């Protein structure tokens, strides 16, 4: 059974909503890495003067890079979801149009 027009449109809207949610999480991760964690690391650097401080800050920088990478990956996933949703929507709309115009003998 072919999908109804409403179902096709709802599925597209849901996919876009999920992609937007992932993109928001991506932005929040970026902010955490670039501002929140950076502020903490600079604060530690300014008050903690020892060899262990250097090691701790170095690990913090590694964590910062990982957060940025994960944020970029989430953004890419969101964009991929949007692309797949668009392609699926177009294919389903095409099938819907064909089903409407099909004449059975």
Task: Please write the tens of the pLDDT for every residue from 12-54.
Answer: 999 999 999 999 999 999 999 999 998 999 998 889 888 888 8
The pLDDT of residue 104 is 75
> How long, in residues, is the chain?
105
Q: What is the pLDDT of residues 54-97, one digit of tens each?
A: 889 999 999 999 999 999 999 999 999 999 999 999 999 999 99
pLDDT (0 to 100) of residue 49: 85
3-state secondary structure of 102: coil
The domain ranges of the chain are: 12-101
- What would the two tokens of residue 8 be? 């096709």
Give the integer Cα–Cα distance in Å for 35 and 20. 22
Task: State the fold for domain 12-101.
Answer: Helix Hairpins (1.10.287)
> H or E stretch including 4?
none
């Amino acid at each position: 059974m072919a999908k109804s027009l409403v179902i096709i449109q709802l599925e597209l809207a849901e996919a876009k909503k999920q992609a937007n949610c992932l993109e928001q999480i991506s932005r929040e991760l970026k902010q955490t890495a670039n501002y929140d964690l950076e502020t903490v690391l600079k604060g530690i650097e300014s008050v903690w003067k020892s060899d262990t401080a250097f090691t701790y800050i170095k690990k913090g920088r590694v964590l910062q890079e990982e957060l940025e990478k994960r944020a970029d990956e989430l953004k890419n996933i969101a964009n991929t979801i949007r692309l797949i949703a668009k392609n699926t929507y177009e294919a389903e709309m095409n099938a819907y149009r064909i089903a409407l115009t099909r004449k059975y003998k």
